[in-house]
Chain A
């Protein structure tokens, strides 16, 4: 049994355990507080023949008894009556730490404040007046420490032991029921009404002679007024306790009718006001402009004027890197699929004696269709990687903050930004993410605007057309499409918010921006792979299935001599006249857009099948055996191709630096087989009009299904119709307007 018991209390991460370890060394043991799973660490030390037990209480922000940690910390002090409590406070967050400190002082227990991390506070330009702090806290001793450096610990121990001695000596003088009754002791002033109620309850407790066992009556009265269940339960069990409880209930009713709010909110209000006042008096920012790195960066990234341009610049750079650096790999994958893969499969099929139609199905259908999409995996990997970097670093939260200002013009708030930004990945989870928005009108409007965010499935369409027609400016064109999507979303939102979806309620909210942090390789790899895997999985399932179906549609009825006469051609031809004003009225593009209803990636897959299905690089689709490169030659070409692509990608990356250009004049862009085919069917103007149409027209069936599930068939149908109409109108305006201006 130790001679003295000293408890250590404090906020999490204030350095309490570090101080505890410094005080006790290896002489520690751990035990559970009765009835709780919370562990308490205790350690002993003998100083000048006096054995002292130190108890490390759980880190808590308050003693409000909401959590087991808070209950254990509070109960230890109330029931075990430690000789003193060392309250460890983080100097860099003094105001928040003081909240616990004043609650401990209210318990009437002798307290010493270890003002920890003073070195870090000084590094941030924060100076604390220790003497003034002590005076304002009822002369509770304040000892500056830097536990991580081992500074101030000895003095802290000395001061704590001296405080205990002072209390013992004071016990020989005027009788105080608790520390807070001493003259000049610290007390929070709760205002006339609550102070009167505290007085009433204290008197009632004394009158009933409640067995307080050293518990401060003022503290007890406060807890009863705040309605703390376990305190009420304990007092109820005491002889005379029910009388005090009844008194407490009537005081609570009276106070709530006066303040119009719960008593514990009012008392917390006063405490926060007190600690705020103390903090302002004792803390001085030596260098007013001294801010954390996060704050310094946020001054720019969340600036009212330049925040949005910064966001747009960052997204532009992301797209430049994604497109320019991944394009060499895109070419490599394309040559790999249409070269060794196609020729290898063809050789296998011929060796197995496969029929011509099966050969065509595999090569012209599956390889062209699925392969056409897999070509874009390098670009998507790069996109997902950079989006993961922006998310993990904490920047996306700033982007959401910046976009919120524009959300307000259409009656939405920042809480809509996250579902909208999820739409850049895939619209389906983005629609479901609107469930976080409580207001139905805001939810619906957000969901209707999500399809305007260019999802990752649209990226292959953008890439293939942009590279085919805009060369080195491909990344700029793609970035522009993403921006246009957002602009259209704001425009449509503006129209809706003034017509069919007028705002009905405005709720304010607070946005807490997380500190910037360095993304970890593991996290980036996980997120990038997770998203890429979904894409590849989709390619192996939905796109594979549709490619097979599409091949049959392109070749049925059996014996058709042209694609236009096939079932695919017949259906596509029916809607072609509607697309002629937009500049891309052909059965191939019509059919591709129809398949895009299932999944947007299928637009590229279909075009690849339709335009290049019979033109496989290095493959002659005849029954006679054609000479093919040896296995070793093929492996060598794959490896050389990859190395070349890597070198080109590195040159592209370095060439992004202003003033540096390592690219040859033609640039590293080689046309894929699909690009070459498209160049003979489109002009740059009609290609851009096509891209606008793809950006805006009806979202995929999965998204329509999600909207139907969440908001009903009427809104899903409306979304399908108005978006397609808008897409057609925009594409026609672009094409016809461009022709008038001489671009056609």
Chain B
């Protein structure tokens, strides 16, 4: 499933929302979210929301719901394993 997810990300030229990705993997969206979290931990995917520093410098960051409500975006990291 994880390798399939990475393959889909590599092959896809545009964006996929979580619903489309879970449909392609035939998995529940929450499960796909879990896979994405693991891949982020392994450095295989970048969570773009984590890289954005705009909210970090905002005095309202602890009260604001915007970071949670902004669409999470993940980008395939440049490290691609070579298939043996």
Are these two chains actual partners, yes or no? yes
- Chain A residues near B (Cβ < 8 Å): 61-62, 64, 66, 93-96, 99, 257-262, 264-266, 268-269, 272-273, 275-276, 279-280, 295, 298, 302, 391-394, 396-398, 400-401, 404-405, 408, 413-415, 418, 429, 432-433, 435-436, 438, 506-514, 517, 519-520, 522-523, 526-527, 530
Q: Do A96 and B28 contact each other (CB < 8 Å), given the known contacts A391-B69, A397-B69, A512-B74?
A: yes
In the complex the two chains form, what is the Cα distance from A93 to B28 in whole Å? 7
- Interface pair B54/A429, CB less than 8 Å apart: yes
Of chain B, the residue at the smallest CB distance from A429 is: B54
Specify which of A268, A415, A510 is in contact with B9 (CB 8 Å cutoff): A510
Contact of B72 among A432, A512, A522 (CB under 8 A): A512
Chain A residues within an 8 Å CB radius of B73: 414-415, 509-512
Whether B26 pairs with A276 at a CB distance below 8 angstroms is yes
Q: Is the CB of B17 within 8 A of A511?
A: yes
Select one of A262, A275, A396, A408 contacting B14, CB under 8 A: A408
Other-chain residue from A401, A433, A526 in contact with B54 (beta carbon distance below 8 A): A433
Are A95 and B27 neighbours in the complex by a CB distance under 8 Å? yes
Q: Which of B31, B48, B64 contacts A95 (CB 8 A)?
A: B31
Q: Find out whether the CB atom of B15 lies under 8 angstroms from the CB atom of A262.
A: no
26 contacts between A and B (CB under 8 A): A95-B27, A95-B30, A96-B30, A96-B34, A258-B84, A261-B3, A261-B81, A265-B2, A272-B1, A276-B31, A279-B31, A394-B69, A414-B73, A415-B48, A415-B73, A435-B52, A436-B48, A436-B51, A509-B16, A509-B73, A510-B16, A510-B36, A511-B18, A514-B70, A517-B65, A527-B60
Q: Write the nearest CB–CB distance from B29 to chain A, whole angstroms.
A: 8
CB proximity of A436 to chain B, nearest CB, Å: 5
Known: A510-B73, A513-B71. A435 touches B53 (CB 8 A): yes
Q: What distance in Å separates the Cβ of A67 from its nearest Cβ neighbour in chain B?
A: 9
Q: Which residue of A lies closest to B54 (CB)?
A: A433
Which positions 35-84 of chain B face chain A at CB distance < 8 Å? Answer: 35-38, 41-42, 44-46, 48, 51-54, 60, 63-66, 68-76, 81-84
Q: Across the interface, do B3 and A392 meet the contact criterion of CB distance under 8 Å?
A: no
Expressed in whole angstroms, the Cα–Cα distance for A295 and B19 within the complex equals: 9
A433-B52 in contact (CB<8A): yes
- The CA of A373 and the CA of B70, in the complex, are separated in Å by 31
B18 to chain A minimum Cβ distance, whole angstroms, is 5
CB distance from A100 to the nearest CB of B (A): 9
Minimum CB distance partner of B58 in chain A: A530
Q: B66's closest neighbor in chain A, by CB? A: A391
In the complex, chain A residues whose CB is within 8 Å of the CB of B9: 508-510
Contacts of A295 in B (CB 8 A): 19
**A396 — which chain B residues lie within 8 A by C-beta?**
69-70
Q: How far, in angstroms, from A513 to B33 measured CA to CA in the complex?
A: 11
Taking a contact as CB atoms under 8 Å apart, the answer to whether B10 and A508 are in contact is yes
Instruction: Decide: A268 and B38 in contact? CB cutoff 8 A.
Output: yes
Q: Do A275 and B31 have beta carbons less than 8 Å apart?
A: yes
With A66-B41, A94-B28, A95-B28 already in contact, the answer to whether A276 and B1 are too (CB < 8 A) is: yes
Cross-chain contact of A93 among B1, B11, B30, B36 (Cβ < 8 A)? B30
Query: In whole angstroms, what is the CA distance A258 to B76 when docked?
Result: 23
Verify B69–A257 contact, CB threshold 8 A.
Answer: no
Q: Are A260 and B1 in contact (CB under 8 A)?
A: no
A264's closest neighbor in chain B, by CB? B42
When chains A and B are docked, how far (Å) is the Cα of A320 from the Cα of B27?
Answer: 42
Inter-chain contact A276/B27, CB cutoff 8 Å: yes
Chain B residue with the shortest CB-CB distance to A273: B1
| B42: min CB distance to chain A, Å | 6
Closest chain-A Cβ to B34's Cβ sits at a distance in Å of 5
CB distance from B68 to the nearest CB of A (A): 6
Residues in A with CB closer than 8 Å to B36 are 510, 512
**Quick one: closest B residue to A436, CB to CB?**
B52
Asked if A64 meets B38 with Cβ closer than 8 Å, knowing A298-B19, A432-B54, the reply is yes
B72 to chain A, nearest CB (A): 4
Residues of A within 8 A of B2 (CB): 265, 268-269, 272
Bound state CA distance, A415 and B52, in angstroms? 11
Going nearest first, the 4 A-B pairs with the smallest beta carbon separation are A397-B71, A272-B1, A95-B31, A512-B72
Contact of A262 among B42, B65, B66 (CB under 8 A): B42
Q: Which residues of B contact A510 (CB under 8 A)?
A: 9, 15-18, 21, 36, 45, 73-74
Contacts of B82 in A (CB 8 A): 260
Q: What is the CA–CA distance of A438 and B73 in the complex, to the nearest angstrom?
A: 13
Q: Besides the contacts A436-B51, A509-B75, what 15 more A-B pairs have beta carbons closer than 8 Å?
A: A99-B31, A258-B84, A265-B2, A269-B1, A275-B31, A276-B1, A394-B69, A404-B15, A413-B14, A414-B73, A436-B48, A509-B15, A512-B73, A513-B71, A526-B63
Contact A257 B84 (CB under 8 A): yes
Cα A99 to Cα B38 in complex, Å, equals: 12
Assess the B34–A401 pair: CB atoms within 8 A.
Answer: no
Query: Which residues on A sit within 8 Å (CB–CB) of B70?
Result: 391, 396-397, 418, 514
- CB-defined contacts of B31 to chain A, threshold 8 Å: 93, 95-96, 99, 272, 275-276, 279
For B83, the chain A residues whose CB sits under 8 A away are 260
Contact A392 B69 (CB under 8 A): yes
On chain B, the residues within 8 Å of A517 by CB distance are: 65, 69
Q: Are A99 and B3 in contact (CB under 8 A)?
A: no
Task: Closest B residue to A439 by CB, please name it.
Answer: B75
B residues less than 8 Å from A275 (CB atoms): 31
Q: Please measure, in the bound complex, the distance between the C-alpha atom of A279 and the C-alpha atom of B27, giving whole angstroms.
A: 9
Given the complex, which residues of B lie within 8 Å of A408, measured CB to CB? 13-14
Q: Shortest Cβ distance from A249 into chain B, in angstroms?
A: 18
B2 to chain A, nearest CB (A): 4
How far is the CB of B54 from the nearest CB of chain A, in Å?
A: 6
Provide the bound-state CA to CA distance between A429 and B15, in Å. Answer: 25
The distance in angstroms between the C-alpha atoms of A245 and B69, with both chains bound, is: 45
- By beta carbon, the residue of chain B nearest A274 is B1
B16 touches A508 (CB 8 A): yes
A527 to B65 alpha-carbon distance, docked (Å): 10
Residues of A within 8 Å of B42, CB to CB, are 262, 264-265
- Are the C-beta atoms of B33 and A260 separated by less than 8 Å? no
Chain B residue numbers with a CB within 8 Å of A64 are: 38, 41
| Contact call A401/B15, Cβ cutoff below 8 A | yes
Closest A residue, CB atoms, query B83: A260
A661–B56 Cα distance when bound, in Å, is 47
A404 to B14, CA, bound (A): 8
Chain B residues near A508 (CB, 8 Å)?
A: 8-16, 76
- Contact, CB under 8 Å: B12 / A514: no
Cα(A93)–Cα(B48), bound, Å? 25
